[in-house]
């Protein structure tokens, strides 16, 4: 689909009339930047959106619309760790142990940067435990040896925002409305959607492996598969003129409210102080992820203490077994996908009751009572997702409890 300016281009797709919404293109190249510069293909950020013309049907008082909306973003901003290492490089390389360095006058014996089966843990482990960064009886921090292999030596973490990420969004959107007598009506809106991206956000979390960004293509942080919203207004259709005492008491009543149901947001399990692939991500921006053993959304208790199935994630193994032998681990990247834990859904009922008192043609008093989350539904929100924490799997925050407020207005 090419750029068509501000006019929508009609596109026939399998008999459905689609139209392309205006394309947003943001030029990131500084004025006067010479042709063939480093930015080259990262020079633009674009967001292309496509929507179907909604199908509308219904009668005089009922209207239903069904439509499709989608978008694709390319060269989106995201954080990248420039100084991480390719997986397996440390296994194939020789390093200078301790404070030694290649080119020094004193002789030393190079050692493997990483032994097979060893995972870096950001600690001064021993040679028996597999740490090769040992000189004599001195155990040096194991991740320090990886600094010799980094693309930009002399630095550990170099995190930079780059426009190298992509996203796509597809949704089916349905709305329905029915009008009753007077001001009474009910409207419903439903969206079935899926949002995928290679960057979880634009500035704070970089991919686990900067050399394989394609592995990060998973659910966006704000993806919700199902979104349902129903709002209604009902006016008691009797004593509208509010004549006499009975009319004043029984007339002028209105009730309105909003019913909301959203499926949960995605969460990502991660680990700390564990780098079996030698990516060099400890004490840098990326967070390592554990290995996945089963579907964490199946078999979980769904309670405050354990919302998802925590046994589906491999915990960091010990260095040695009970007999003092080294425990070997696969020198691979954690295969847990980003965003594969579906968080708690949200269900909420808000209600407003209004009483209008009319006195003559110009003076009116309105009394209001409003209740948000009227049934005091416990809607879990945040989850603890670090496999090394004792709180792993617990709910750590909840949404607002029931809130009520009252008010009065005078109109004259």
- How much is the pLDDT for 181? 84
The predicted structure's pLDDT at residue 276 = 97
Domain shared by 36 and 175, yes or no: no
Six-digit token string for 171: 């949704």
Residue 204 lies in a domain: yes
- Which pLDDT score is estimated for 14? 36
Same domain? 181 vs 47: no
Q: Which has the closest alpha carbon to 277: 327, 231, 332? A: 332
CA–CA separation, 21 vs 216, rounded Å?
28
**How many structural domains is the chain composed of?**
2
Residue 131 domain-assigned (yes or no) = no
One domain, residues 73 and 39: no
Domain-located, residue 21? yes
Q: Are 12 and 64 in a shared domain? A: no
Distances 223 to 166, 197, 396 between C-alpha atoms, Å? 15, 10, 20
User: Are both 289 and 328 inside the same structural domain?
Assistant: yes
- Is the alpha carbon torsion for 152, 158, 162, 167 positive or negative? positive
The Cα angle at residue 30 between residues 27 and 31, in degrees rounded to 5: 100
pLDDT of the residue at 304: 94
Provide the pLDDT for residue 49: 63
Together in a domain, 17 and 63:
no
Domain that holds residue 42: 1-53
- 3-class secondary-structure state, position 122: coil
Bridge partners of 350? 258
* Residue-level pLDDT at 268: 95
**Do 333 and 371 belong together in one domain?**
yes
- 252 and 284 in a single domain? The answer is yes
Kindly state whether residue 258 falls inside one of the protein's structural domains.
yes
Q: Which neighbouring-strand residues pair with 313?
A: 292
Q: Is residue 304 part of a domain?
A: yes
Question: Taking the CA of residue 363 as centre, how many other CA atoms within 13 Å lie in the half-sphere pointing to its CB?
Answer: 2
Does 197 share its domain with 49? no
Mean pLDDT by 10 residues, the chain (412 residues): 37 37 38 39 52 67 90 90 95 95 90 96 94 93 94 91 92 93 93 93 86 92 96 89 80 93 96 96 91 96 96 95 94 95 97 89 89 96 96 96 94 86
166 is a domain residue: yes
104 within a domain of the structure (yes/no) = no
Residue burial 147-173, b: 16+ Cβ < 10 Å; e: rest: ebbbeeeeebbebeebbbbbbbbebeb
Q: Are 174 and 46 members of one domain?
A: no
Nearest-angstrom CA–CA distance, 343 and 345: 7
Q: What is the pLDDT at residue 291? A: 96
3 and 79 share a domain? no
Predicted confidence at residue 205, as pLDDT, reads 84
- Clarify whether residues 169 and 32 are in a common domain: no
* Rounded Cα–Cα distance for residues 181 and 115 (Å): 78
pLDDT at 46: 54
Distance (Å, whole) CA 219 – CA 293: 19
126 lies in some domain: no
């Amino acid at each position: 689909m090419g750029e068509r300016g501000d006019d929508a281009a009609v596109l026939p797709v399998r008999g459905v009339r689609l139209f392309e919404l205006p394309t947003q293109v943001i030029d990131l190249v500084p004025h006067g930047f010479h042709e063939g510069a480093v930015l080259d293909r990262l020079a633009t950020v674009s967001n292309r959106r496509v929507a179907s013309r909604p199908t509308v049907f219904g009668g005089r008082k009922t209207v239903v619309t069904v439509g499709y909306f989608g978008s694709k973003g390319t060269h989106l901003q995201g954080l990248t760790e420039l100084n991480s290492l390719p997986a397996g490089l440390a296994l194939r390389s020789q390093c200078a142990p301790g404070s030694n360095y290649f080119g020094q006058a004193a002789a030393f014996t190079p050692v493997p940067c990483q032994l097979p089966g060893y995972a870096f843990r950001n600690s001064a482990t021993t040679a028996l435990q597999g740490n090769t960064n040992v000189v004599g009886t001195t155990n040096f921090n194991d991740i320090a040896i990886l600094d010799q292999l980094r693309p930009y030596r002399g630095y550990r973490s170099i995190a930079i925002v780059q426009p190298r990420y992509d996203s796509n969004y597809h949704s089916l959107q349905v709305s329905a409305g029915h009008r009753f007598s007077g001001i009474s009506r009910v409207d419903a809106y439903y969206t079935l959607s899926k949002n995928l991206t290679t960057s979880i956000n634009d500035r704070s979390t970089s991919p686990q492996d900067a050399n394989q960004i394609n592995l990060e293509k998973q659910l966006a942080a704000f993806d919700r598969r199902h979104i349902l919203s129903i709002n209604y207004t009902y006016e008691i259709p009797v004593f509208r003129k509010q004549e006499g005492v009975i009319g004043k008491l029984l007339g002028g009543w209105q009730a309105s409210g909003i019913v909301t149901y959203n499926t949960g947001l995605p969460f990502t399990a991660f680990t700390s102080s564990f780098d079996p692939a030698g990516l060099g991500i400890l004490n840098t921006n990326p967070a390592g992820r554990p290995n996945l053993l089963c579907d964490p959304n199946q078999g979980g208790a769904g309670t405050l203490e354990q919302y998802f199935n925590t046994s589906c994630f491999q915990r960091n193994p010990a260095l040695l077994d009970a007999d003092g032998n080294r425990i070997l681990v696969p020198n691979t990247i954690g295969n847990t996908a980003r965003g594969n834990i579906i968080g708690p859904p949200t269900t909420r009922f808000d209600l407003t009751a209004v009483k209008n008192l009319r006195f003559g043609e110009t003076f009116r008093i309105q009394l209001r009572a409003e209740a948000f989350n009227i049934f005091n539904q416990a809607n879990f929100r945040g989850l603890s997702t670090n496999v090394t924490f004792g709180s792993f799997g617990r709910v750590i925050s909840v949404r607002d409890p029931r809130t009520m407020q009252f008010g009065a207005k005078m109109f004259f």
